[in-house]
Structure 1
């Protein structure tokens, strides 16, 4: 009886191990999109690029990595508008810090740029009478594009953050 229990445990453990290995076989991409585009792409994903900005030594408040649902909600985007993204924003409502890198779907770069500009304007409105210093920082930033990449940052060192992004995009 004890021997039979050991075999059952071994079989279950093997089945779990096998199912875990096969579930991880696909490639991961932030934002759930594919990784093809008619324009040249950076060797790094938008998620990797935004993470590089986060790890660059620029001082950030508590930051939150944004998931696809929050991206679509706050940026008014739909699944077909972007391929991949990497977005972080402040988890503290007193700070306007945000790092946004989005790879737009083919033919959607203008729509994505407009959506990111609307997000920036929304942040300016939110901070205008709330935290003047953060509003002033938001007023020094702008949305940029390169190919299908749309990006903007609001950090304590926008020049450094933008430099990291432009070098990564190529």
Structure 2
């Protein structure tokens, strides 16, 4: 698996991954009815450095790296991750996170923060914890999960 910068040619493959995740409404704080145009505009937002996990020419995951905030918070990185359903459980998100942590260090970031990890997303919480992220905040019932009702949002942080 190769983690590389995304190109314009990757847009359809990225939408194939993020579109169903957005529509499911279980992990991202995004409108579930977003169109392809909306989703790709968000993923390729100015300031996002977008990557794909490429396995033999097939995109099986995507992520972006950005500054978490501007000004006094610009030394902390933030990322978003999405894995294709057929690649779930194969270490794709782990590889992308390790890659973005190294890239963040190279760009001068001192830490990485996930502003809102849905607490019911056990795979993500477990992965980020295994990579050294601590839960530094809990937002009670801050996420309206489409099937579980109101669940907590977690703020997770790791120094680089």
Question: TM-score per shorter chain, which class?
Answer: 0.3 to 0.5
Relative CO higher for 1 or 2, CA cutoff 8 Å, sep ≥ 6? 1
Which protein shows a greater Rg?
1
TM norm structure 2: 0.38
Q: Is the strand fraction higher in 1 or 2?
A: 2
TM-score of the superposition, structure 1-length normalised? Answer: 0.36
Greater share of residues in helix: 1
